[in-house]
Structure 1
Amino acid sequence: MDIPKQIEAYINSHPEAKRNDMQTLHHMILELNPACQLWFLDGKNSEGKVVSNPNIGYGQLNIRYADGTSKPFYQIGMSANTSGISVYIMGIKDKTYLPKTFGEKLGKASVTGYCIKFKALKDIDTEILKATVEFGFNNQN
């Protein structure tokens, strides 16, 4: 199955309210960067064991590891979790930047060094979330 179909199937696998929010987010992210590379990670490791929630990814950056190796990865990620949705902004060196810059403005969201977690879109300021995603696409750390 190709990546757009995997993404569609993943979004459609959720209950209606979460599905609608994920679809809205998916379209919002694509509007901000229509030509970005799409990713779908099923959450399984090389042995087929589930190690994380499935993720939809947008854009591309190179993740650099402490041992000097690197690999391509997405810039922006989205995933359903047990209590709502997580949006990941990858590649930020300053792990205090997201919480300090966007945390209080977002509304009912938990903001860490690279993850924004919220229950539903109605609980957050989507314009601030858009600004966060735009920052993620433009951040070339």
Structure 2
Amino acid sequence: MSDQIDRYIADQSPAKGEELRDLHRRILAISPDAELWFLDGRNDAGKVVSNPNIGYGSQTLSYAAGDSRAFYKIGLSANTSGISVYVVGPKDKTYLSETYGSRLGKAKITGYCIRFRSVNDVDLGVLEEVVADAMGPRSAGASS
């Protein structure tokens, strides 16, 4: 797993790779025993459906149809305009923006994603709070 993660980070531009490496270290410092995931962005049929991403932690996601599956709690991904941090299973769709939006800096926040051009655009202390919160116990459809 760490070989795939290291290759993914190394395949980025030098500047973006260094920022991903720094965020990867920060997330592991917050949750050193977190399970690591690497998703290459392909679905079961091999079709590219998303950007590759690194996942941290583990939780069980339950769906309305009654199925469930294991998935990560935090995802980290490079994209064409910068970096995305995915928070899987937030309490509700407005939780991230209401809780962290005013303090985070220049980032676009959706129900589960924080997207920014560079780590220089966001308050890394607040981003670390997001990670620590997400890596803790969950409610509202997700459980550890």
Shorter-chain TM band: over 0.9
Residue 93 of structure 1 deviates from its aligned partner by 3.0
SS in 2 for 1:27: helix
SS in 1 for 2:100: helix
TM-score (normalizing by structure 2): 0.94
1:89-133 Cα distance to aligned partner (Å, 9 max, x none):
111131111000101211110111111000000111000000001
Distance 1:20 1:139 in 2: 30
Map of 1:81 onto structure 2: 79
What percent identity do the matched residue pairs reach? 51
Residue 36 of structure 1 deviates from its aligned partner by 0.6
The count of aligned residue pairs is 139
**Whose RCO is larger (CA < 8 A, sep 6+)?**
2
RMSD: 0.7
Distance 2:132 2:83 in 1: 18
Match of 1:115 among 108, 113, 116: 113
Distance 1:92 1:71 in 2: 16
SS in 1 for 2:25: helix
Residue 45 of structure 1 deviates from its aligned partner by 1.0
Residue pair 1:92, 1:139 contacting (<8 A) in 2 also: no
Letter in 2 for 1:23: R
1:76-96 Cα distance to aligned partner (Å, 9 max, x none):
000111100000111113111
Are positions 1:136 and 2:97 aligned together? no
Please, which moves more after superposition, 20-29 or 90-99?
90-99
Match of 2:65 among 64, 67, 70: 67
SS in 2 for 1:56: strand
**Unpaired segments of 5 or more residues in structure 2?**
140-144
**Unpaired segments of 5 or more residues in structure 1?**
none
Residue pair 1:105, 1:125 contacting (<8 A) in 2 also: yes
**1:1-141 equivalences in 2 (<5 Å):** 3-141=1-139
Moved over 2 A (4+): none
Letter in 2 for 1:6: Q
Distance 1:72 1:27 in 2: 23
Please, which moves more after superposition, 93-102 or 119-128?
93-102
TM-score (normalizing by structure 1): 0.96
Residue pair 1:91, 1:139 contacting (<8 A) in 2 also: no
